[in-house]
């Protein structure tokens, strides 16, 4: 499969899974009422984020939305051009699709009302990681896989093969 198609397939999977999970939690959960899955360490807690990463720039108006849109368009243009030119290894396509899929999913979620639906809640007692969603998870997974691809690609170049 061509790298651009791998990126597109992973992007579409992320969009679908994120939309399905957000739709499900909004129908099943009561906002801000935790539902334990693994004791108090991991639970589902429906909440909404008006900011960007970890709630930064909450209530920042339309500015963060416009900036995010510009960044996404730039990433799409970069992805298509670098995959077509062969500058990236073909194995980078799926991780980039995960990153873009997560970014687009959160962007689309934010469009109607200026907020993103979050529901994954992890931590110990009152020490908790900021609530996040499936799109956030795929972005982090994509970045980790892209780093791994980058490191293994550099190692294979360094070993002469």
Per-residue pLDDT of the chain (161 residues; tens, 9 = 90+): 888 899 999 999 999 999 999 999 999 999 999 999 999 999 999 999 887 665 555 666 677 788 889 999 998 898 888 888 888 888 999 999 999 999 999 999 999 988 899 999 999 988 999 999 999 999 999 999 999 998 987 766 666 54
| Residue entry with tokens 């939309």 | 19
Quick one: how far is CA 87 from the chain centroid? 23
pTM: 0.88
Can you name the residues that pair with 103 across neighbouring β-strands?
none
User: Are residues 35 and 45 in contact, defined by beta-carbon separation less than 8 angstroms?
Assistant: yes
Cα–Cα dist 127/109, whole Å: 27
Q: Catalytic site residues? A: 118, 136
């Amino acid at each position: 499969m061509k790298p651009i198609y791998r990126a597109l397939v992973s992007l579409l999977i992320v969009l679908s899974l994120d939309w399905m999970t957000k739709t499900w939690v909004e129908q099943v959960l009561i906002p801000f009422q935790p539902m334990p899955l693994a004791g108090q360490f991991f639970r589902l807690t429906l909440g909404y984020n008006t900011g960007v990463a970890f709630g930064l720039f909450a209530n920042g108006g339309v500015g963060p939305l416009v900036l995010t849109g510009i960044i996404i368009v730039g990433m799409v243009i970069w992805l298509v051009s670098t995959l077509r030119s062969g500058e990236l290894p073909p194995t980078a396509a799926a991780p980039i699709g995960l990153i873009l899929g997560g970014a687009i999913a959160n962007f689309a979620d934010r469009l109607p009302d200026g907020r993103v639906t979050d529901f994954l809640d992890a931590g110990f007692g009152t020490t908790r990681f900021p609530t996040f969603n499936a799109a956030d998870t795929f972005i982090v997974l994509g970045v980790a896989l892209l780093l791994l691809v980058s490191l293994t690609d550099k190692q294979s170049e360094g070993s002469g093969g």
